[in-house]
Structure 1
Amino acid sequence: MVDPMAAPDEPRDDAESPETVPADAPDEVKADAAAAQGSDEHFHAARLGDDVADHPRKDVPHPKDAAEPDDTIHQPEDVDPDSSAELPGKTQRVDLEGEDAPIDAETTQKKRAALIYNPVKVDPDALRARTAELSAEAGWAEPLFYETTVDDLGDDVTRAALDEKVDAVLVAGGDGTVRAVAEALTSSGVPLTIIPSGTGNLLARNLNLPLSDSDAMIRSTFEGDVLSIDTGIARIRRAGGEIEEHGFSVMAGIGLDAAMIQNTRDDLKKQVGWVAYVDGAARSLVSAKPFRVMYQLDGHRLHSAKVQSVLFANCGALQGGVALIPDASIADGSLDVAVLQPSGVLGWLGVWRSIVWDNSVLRKFRAGRRVLERRKDTSVRYLRGTGIELATAPAQPIELDGDEFGEATRVYTRIVAGGLVVALPKGHDTSSL
């Protein structure tokens, strides 16, 4: 297994891996790959339209070819809203009683926070009342209250709150709501307080926040500590050539993990929580097929691999205590990448062993780490850098922080070091972050 802690500018073991070029590739393909490895030219998201020679293998798409439309134009599907279909689609602000309020708020000389919440995931009346009460105790003005809707997962109302010059933002909702609010707050310098709600709470889990003490989190807005953490940015190219850019706080992915999310039943998720993803994974594995990608870490060589999924992680913990990338840090300025490339049933057992057993159990013990140092397993390959670009054809499903985002032929993900300021309870231990 490649050491995920290696510095970004060091050569990685995968650079010399036989999987860099298929063994049965024609001589001209191998020559192209050798030239690419020795070249100082790198393909980056800023140069998505660079002219390059056509690649002779259809199953090894050249980045330019992968960005071209194929025979079927895959229109991006609407993101499943982290909200209710009955809610109006406009950006809306409400007052303390939950009644509609003007989007432009009255000015105040006191500090003021904004509470953005998904009314389906929380008790709106109780949450507004408690936030207002603790704000008053701290000497702050009454908060501004914003509800998410089917058309606004939280980014639009966050920008509206920033226009009001709020001093802090609180968010209560699922991972999709947190992702949208964090995206709008990136590089703003305004602290974000996460009130854990919903199914996953992945960002809260990776920050080791209390998941069942909403008062402690609300109080941290006014009297807690603050920490700057990294955020991720994904630039997505659709099969039709459209380019979009979205933020993520925990991880993004292309391939099987996105298909798993698409196949997870909403009704089951409401009943059993994150365990519903196991059902989604089982249903996805039935039709899962590997696909060819070309990828390149910033400042590294161009590689080709046949994969089931590629994950781009800002932090590494999943639900249930599973450590997908055990050495990932949310405050190190680096992007961690996990390339899942199992071969057959034994390969999937290797993936399971690597993620569930090796990462979550063996790495905790000195003897276990010695075992892992001697083991060679390519079912999961770990990389690290500041950004990575990946191209494939035909388009593959993608996800950001557990939300499906349609399909893409090209993705460039990067880290914004210290891009988000988060509020933490006073004295919160950050040594493991």
Structure 2
Amino acid sequence: MATESDQIPARDTTDSGDAGAPAPSPDPERAAAPDDVIREPDDVAPDTADGETGEARRVGPEGETEPMAGGAEKPNPKAALVYNPIKVDGDALREQVVRIAEESGWEEPLFYETTVDDLGDDVTRQALEAGANAVLVAGGDGTVRAVSGEMSGSGIPLAIVPSGTGNLLARNLGLPLADPEAMIRAAFSGDRTPIDVGWARLTRDGGEVEEHAFVVMGGMGLDAAMIANTNPQLKKSVGWVAYVDGATRSLVNAKPFRVVYQLDGHRMHAARVQSVLFANCGSLQAGLELIPEASVTDGQLDVVIMQPKGFWGWLLVWRRVAWDNSFLRKFRAGRRVLSLRTKDSAVVYSRGRGVALAPQEPHPVQLDGDEFGEARHVQTRVDAGGLVVAVPPGHELPHA
């Protein structure tokens, strides 16, 4: 085979007589003409830099090497559904999610069922590790709480499909409770909005410490005892109405307890209370407004100190929640009446980024309607905007 040196004449290196004269310009036609030399791949040095190989590679926005397309990599986004099989029709729900995902151009969804031992936090962690671009949750308030806590800080949107007995977070967000398909579609093509997540650090009587999330409200005292005394079978049969039975049985033996509490940035207070609530949002079932001005986007928790004295004190509590907050406050004339009324101390409202509770003796604690046993100290905090929720296009959150 002819080599390049055999075909190209040697360059004239003799002195032209003027060492400073510029070199003559090459002839363009001659430079562009093919030289008829057949070269092997090894004859040409690879176009590389910094020790890289000449292999093709995929790069990101900053030039970093990324995996090549193919294999396990999916070009389209995928969603994951976490659901409580006791609360929903799993077959129908999975079929609906698969259909809408296909219509939206997403990959086949991932499905995870909760169990008694895993309310949703562990399977949600698996979904995030599998690369889910959106997560849907269908179940009771406890399932929503567990999934929300695990997703806090991930930046991945959560779509809450209404189900279960309470739907408290969906209710407080003003989501369509009677239209599950609207919320399923929101996961794929809805708007995204951040909301706050509350955290409660519980110290047990033996010194053990654990932290749990809540997205609606938690409490210590009578409200937790009421939930502990609610019959699970009755709750399955009649839903949230079963809490009335639990409340009735709890009130019979209800006794005030002494607690020291302190809001972040404020001085300590001591009081004899029936219950202390720390809330991310304030609407309850049956249209009751416990905390009408609570907001899931203000970066603060609303604290309610319930300290009624005797039967008449409980009537004042009921009037405040069922009449004042849930009815009168909706009308201009009603708000005028409330502004003129003498305030009572049966219910005291405060607000802050967190609250610390220290009862004289350990007392029961509940978070979003789930009992968490007794604690001798509770420290709460709020993760402002920690959870991204998917909502139908154009939906605006109440009190935002």
- TM-score normalised by L of structure 2: 0.81
Asked whether the 8 Å contact 2:173–2:398 carries over to 1, the reply is: no
> 1:361: how far off?
1.0
- Corresponding residue number in structure 2 for 1:246: 212
> 1:275: how far off?
1.0
CA distance in 1, matches of 2:235, 2:330: 30
1:113-128 pair list within 5 angstroms: 113-128=79-94
Q: Aligned pair count?
A: 329
- Corresponding residue number in structure 2 for 1:179: 145
- Corresponding residue number in structure 2 for 1:311: 277
- Corresponding residue number in structure 1 for 2:331: 365
- Of 356, 365, 376 in structure 2, the residue corresponding to residue 398 of structure 1 is 365
> 1:106: how far off?
5.2
TM-aligned CA distance change 1:163 to 1:250, over 3 Å: same
- Of 229, 245, 249 in structure 2, the residue corresponding to residue 279 of structure 1 is 245
- Corresponding residue number in structure 2 for 1:423: 390
CA distance in 2, matches of 1:417, 1:112: 27
What amino acid sits opposite 2:348 in the alignment?
R
TM-aligned CA distance change 1:328 to 1:244, over 3 Å: same
What amino acid sits opposite 1:194 in the alignment?
I
SS at match of 1:394: coil
Identity within the alignment, %: 65
CA distance in 1, matches of 2:77, 2:167: 28
- TM-score normalised by L of structure 1: 0.75
- Corresponding residue number in structure 1 for 2:121: 155
SS at match of 1:157: helix
What amino acid sits opposite 2:392 in the alignment?
P
> 1:107: how far off?
4.2
SS at match of 1:280: helix
CA distance in 2, matches of 1:107, 1:254: 47
What amino acid sits opposite 1:230 in the alignment?
D
SS at match of 2:225: helix
CA distance in 2, matches of 1:199, 1:106: 39
SS at match of 1:199: coil
- Of 385, 407, 414 in structure 1, the residue corresponding to residue 374 of structure 2 is 407
- Corresponding residue number in structure 1 for 2:201: 235
> 1:370: how far off?
2.5
SS at match of 1:330: coil
> 1:298: how far off?
0.5
- Corresponding residue number in structure 2 for 1:24: none
> 1:364: how far off?
1.3
Asked whether the 8 Å contact 2:172–2:398 carries over to 1, the reply is: no
- Of 255, 259, 272 in structure 2, the residue corresponding to residue 289 of structure 1 is 255
CA distance in 1, matches of 2:398, 2:365: 32
Q: Does 2:315 match 1:349?
A: yes
CA distance in 2, matches of 1:316, 1:227: 19
SS at match of 2:361: strand
What amino acid sits opposite 2:91 in the alignment?
D
Q: Does 2:130 match 1:164?
A: yes
- Corresponding residue number in structure 1 for 2:112: 146
Asked whether the 8 Å contact 2:294–2:399 carries over to 1, the reply is: no
Between structure 1 and structure 2, the one with the greater Rg is 2
List alignment gaps of at least 5 residues for structure 1. 1-104
- Corresponding residue number in structure 1 for 2:8: none
Asked whether the 8 Å contact 2:162–2:170 carries over to 1, the reply is: yes
CA distance in 2, matches of 1:299, 1:429: 31
- The superposition leaves residues 211-256 of structure 1 with CA deviations (integer Å, 9 ceiling, x where unpaired) of 1211111001111111100110000011111110000000000000
Larger relative contact order, structure 1 or 2 (CA cutoff 8 Å, min sep 6): 1
